């Protein structure tokens, strides 16, 4: 049976998800898409074959033909719409971050706990990226000993005008928060944010170096450079006791000409993580049929908000900030 999907938000990510659900995912079809800009919603609906374009996001959640909801609206709306899906009893894939602050993230966890059923998956798509997945498997094989440190590079060509230094941590570095917990199977215990010399082309502290320590004593360092100009570049290198594990930035062809070797870089995360988004969305739809949740949970999303809260605090104080939260047993094990 095909699952009717409703999408909230027809911006860059909402449109991308609509194309993926319509063209690359089996067992699902698009029912409705909403956006505050009705013309934008109608445009994406026409392109992807969604039955309805509406301007009220709650109408998507209420729609009887919508069996599952994908949220790709602005970050500040994620928690409220996710809670509305939980209250309607509908599975939801919510784009990261779960919320801009831990206090808001916790509201979602509490709503899911009181509903008594796992319904939320967070759109941390890197967990489905073949490079990170293989890195995790290789580490877990034990062949290279224990992981000691994890070097991460997160570069965007340019950051949106509305970004500031805190947004760089809450919206961008949150990916490394989730993926390092996933790859290392460890919790992050502290964070320290360092400002580098600021690029003249940046309108906030850019680049920054964010250093986490895990509960197992490993260091995770993230070079966060969101106005790198030259393209989208995400890399990771795991330092283990008897070797290192890393993956390349893209799988593109290599050109050798006129004495130069060249490979192209993606302009942004959508082509770079195209496989990850496709696998994530398919796994989400499959998990609804099997009843076995996959990917990041609301709890993972909440933990990420506690870490980014601590990162923003470190940015302000210049100090190392310990990461602390109260465990919520029950649904999350």
Q: Which residues bind ligand ISE (CB under 6 A)?
A: 156, 171-172, 175, 226, 269
Residue closer to ligand ISE (CB basis): 1 or 161: 161
Residue closer to ligand ISE (CB basis): 277 or 299: 277
Q: How far is the CB of 269 from ligand ISE (least distance, A)?
A: 4
Q: How far is the CB of 181 from ligand ISE (least distance, A)?
A: 17
Residue closer to ligand ISE (CB basis): 112 or 206: 206
Residue closer to ligand ISE (CB basis): 112 or 176: 176
Q: How far is the CB of 175 from ligand ISE (least distance, A)?
A: 6
* 284-298: burial string, b at 16+ Cβ within 10 Å, e else: bbbbbeeeebbbbbb
Q: How far is the CB of 92 from ligand ISE (least distance, A)?
A: 18
Residue 216 contacts by C-beta under 8 Å, 6 or more apart in sequence?
Answer: 184, 186
Question: What CA–CA distance (Å, rounded) separates 264 from 249?
Answer: 10
Residue closer to ligand ISE (CB basis): 208 or 240: 208
Residue closer to ligand ISE (CB basis): 269 or 299: 269
Question: What CA–CA distance (Å, rounded) separates 183 from 132?
Answer: 7
Question: What CA–CA distance (Å, rounded) separates 189 from 203?
Answer: 30
> What is 224-264 written as a DSSP string?
EETT-SS--EEEEEEEESS-EEEE-S----EEEETTEEEE-
Which residue in the shown chain puts its C-beta closest to ligand ISE?
Answer: 172
Q: How far is the CB of 129 from ligand ISE (least distance, A)?
A: 11
Helices and strands in the chain, H and E counts: 11, 15
Q: How far is the CB of 178 from ligand ISE (least distance, A)?
A: 11
Instruction: Give how far Cα 164 sits from Cα of 97, 102, 124, 161, 172, Å.
Output: 16, 19, 21, 8, 11
Neighbouring-strand partners of residue 256: 261
Q: How far is the CB of 290 from ligand ISE (least distance, A)?
A: 27
Residue closer to ligand ISE (CB basis): 90 or 124: 124
Question: At residue 238, what are phi and psi to the nearest 5 degrees?
Answer: -100, 130
Instruction: Give how far Cα 174 sits from Cα of 180, 228, 265, 310, Å.
Output: 10, 18, 22, 12
Find the radius of gyration of the CA atoms of the chain: 20
């Amino acid at each position: 049976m095909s699952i009717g999907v409703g999408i909230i938000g027809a911006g860059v990510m909402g449109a991308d998800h609509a194309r993926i659900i319509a063209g690359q995912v089996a067992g699902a079809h698009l029912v409705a898409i909403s956006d505050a800009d009705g013309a934008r919603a109608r445009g994406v609906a026409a392109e992807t074959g969604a039955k309805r374009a509406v301007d009220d996001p709650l109408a998507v959640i209420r729609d009887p033909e919508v069996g599952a909801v994908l949220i790709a609206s602005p970050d500040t709306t994620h928690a409220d719409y996710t809670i509305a899906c939980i209250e309607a009893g509908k599975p939801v894939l919510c784009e990261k971050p779960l919320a801009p602050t831990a206090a808001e993230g916790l509201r979602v966890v509490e709503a899911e706990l009181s509903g008594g059923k796992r319904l939320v998956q967070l759109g941390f798509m890197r967990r489905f990226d073949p490079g990170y997945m293989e890195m995790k498997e290789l580490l877990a094989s034990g062949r290279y000993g224990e992981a000691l440190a994890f070097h991460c590079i997160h570069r965007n060509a340019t950051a949106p005008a509305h970004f500031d230094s805190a947004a760089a941590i809450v919206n961008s570095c949150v990916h490394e928060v989730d993926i390092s917990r996933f790859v290392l199977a460890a919790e992050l215990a502290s964070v320290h944010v360092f400002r580098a010399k600021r690029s003249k082309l940046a309108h906030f502290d850019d680049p920054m170096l964010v250093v986490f320590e895990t509960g197992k004593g490993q260091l995770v360092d993230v070079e966060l450079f969101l106005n790198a100009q030259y393209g989208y570049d995400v890399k990771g290198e795991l330092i283990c006791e008897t070797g290192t594990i890393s993956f390349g930035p893209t799988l593109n062809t290599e050109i050798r000409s006129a004495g130069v070797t060249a490979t192209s870089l993606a302009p942004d995360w959508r082509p770079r993580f195209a496989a990850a988004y496709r696998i994530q969305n398919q796994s989400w739809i499959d998990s609804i049929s099997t009843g076995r949740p996959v990917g990041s949970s609301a709890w993972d999303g909440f933990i990420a908000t506690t870490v980014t809260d601590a990162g923003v605090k470190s940015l302000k104080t210049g100090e190392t900030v310990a990461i602390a939260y109260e465990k919520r047993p029950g649904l999350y094990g």
